[in-house]
């Protein structure tokens, strides 16, 4: 005769294994949280360093994304408004608009993308780029600006397009992907972009974009969820086993 409790204990084993898996996933999220906090401390330390200068005397081959990311940079060069890039669909405080990214020529052979700021656009695309530029004479002068070096975004699902703004055509991207922007430029780019934080000597800029703040991410919340799943599984299994045992005992005494 088949033991009526065999299936019950098999269920218990499966439940315990599931609870152990949930607890392991919770511990993994805590480990990721520790890594994230260590990275945030490193980022905060790099942001506190004095600005590093980049100009025509800098050597492109000596500059890497790892060495520059989250560093404050002081740049001196010439704006290349002809190759300005528009990042579509960027809201600010609930208002639709775009991010304006302008290459800064540091040398005839290379430059760096500078996220100059945000402009309003009712459709999240058709911004007035010309209104956010200095006069023609100022465009041809060397400028000195300061900003935060950041790595680019992953490619967006929105394919790159070339659209007309005013009387000129500009590349439109769904995200600030350096590789995609580089394809439209006749010179090399640094492997980072610079978020403008101090447009010294440059009037008419768009609204500055807030600096990203290091965060812990969702790892703590995920860990709490996994540990809760483990606790619910164990407590629910215990209650179910007690109920089944009492039922089996009652049937045996009948």
Span 161-165, average pLDDT: 91
Give the chain as a DSSP string: ---TTHHHHHHHHHHHHHHHHHHHHHHHHHHHHHHHHHHHHHHHHHHTSPPEEESTTS-GGG--HHHHTT-EEEEEEEE-GGG-EEE----BTTB-EEEEEEEEEEETTEEEEEEEEEEE-TTSS---SGGGS--HHHHTS-EEEEEEEEPPPPPPSSPPEEEEETTEEEEEESS--HHHHHTT-SSEEEEEEEEEEE-TT--S--BPPPPP----TTHHHHHHHHHHHHHHHHHHHHHHHHHHHHHHHHHHH-
pLDDT for res 133: 82
The CA distance from 53 to 37, in Å, is 29
Is the full-model pTM beyond 0.85? Answer: no
pLDDT for res 245: 77
Model confidence over 5-16: pLDDT tens digits? 667 778 888 999
pLDDT at 241 over 90: no
Span 104-125, average pLDDT: 91
Span 118-135, average pLDDT: 88
Q: How confident is the model at residue 31 (pLDDT cuts 50, 70, 90)?
A: very high
CB 75 within 8 A of CB 103: no
Span 19-47, average pLDDT: 92
Residue 99: how many CA atoms within 13 Å on its side-chain side?
A: 21
pLDDT for res 233: 93
pLDDT at 90 over 80: yes
Higher pLDDT, 229 or 251: 229
pLDDT at 2 over 60: no
pLDDT for res 1: 45
Model confidence over 179-223: pLDDT tens digits? 999 988 999 899 999 999 877 655 556 889 998 887 888 999 999
Query: CA torsion 155→127→106→194, rounded to 10°?
Result: -50
pLDDT for res 104: 93
CB 155 within 8 A of CB 182: no
């Amino acid at each position: 005769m088949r033991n009526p409790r065999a299936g019950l204990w098999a269920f218990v084993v499966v439940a315990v294994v599931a609870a152990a898996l949930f607890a392991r996933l919770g511990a993994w999220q805590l480990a990721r949280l520790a890594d994230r906090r260590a990275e945030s401390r490193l980022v905060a330390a790099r942001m506190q360093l004095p600005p590093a200068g980049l100009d025509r005397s800098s050597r492109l081959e000596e500059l890497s994304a790892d060495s520059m990311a989250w560093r404050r940079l002081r740049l001196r060069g010439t704006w290349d408004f002809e190759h300005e890039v528009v990042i579509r669909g960027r809201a600010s405080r609930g208002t639709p608009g775009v991010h304006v990214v302008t290459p800064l020529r540091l040398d005839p052979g290379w430059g760096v993308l500078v996220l100059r700021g945000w402009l309003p656009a009712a459709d999240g695309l058709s911004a007035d780029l010309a209104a956010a530029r200095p006069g023609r004479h100022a465009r041809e002068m060397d400028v000195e600006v300061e900003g935060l070096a950041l790595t680019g975004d992953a490619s967006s699902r929105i394919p790159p397009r070339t659209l007309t703004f005013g009387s000129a055509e500009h590349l439109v991207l769904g995200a600030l992907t350096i590789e995609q922007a580089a394809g439209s430029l006749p010179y090399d780019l640094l492997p980072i972009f610079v978020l403008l934080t101090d447009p010294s000597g440059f009037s008419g800029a768009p609204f500055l974009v807030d600096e990203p703040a290091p965060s812990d991410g969702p790892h703590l919340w995920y860990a709490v969820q996994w540990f809760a799943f483990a606790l619910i599984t164990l407590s629910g299994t215990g209650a179910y086993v007690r109920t089944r045992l009492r039922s089996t005992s009652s049937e045996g005494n009948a």
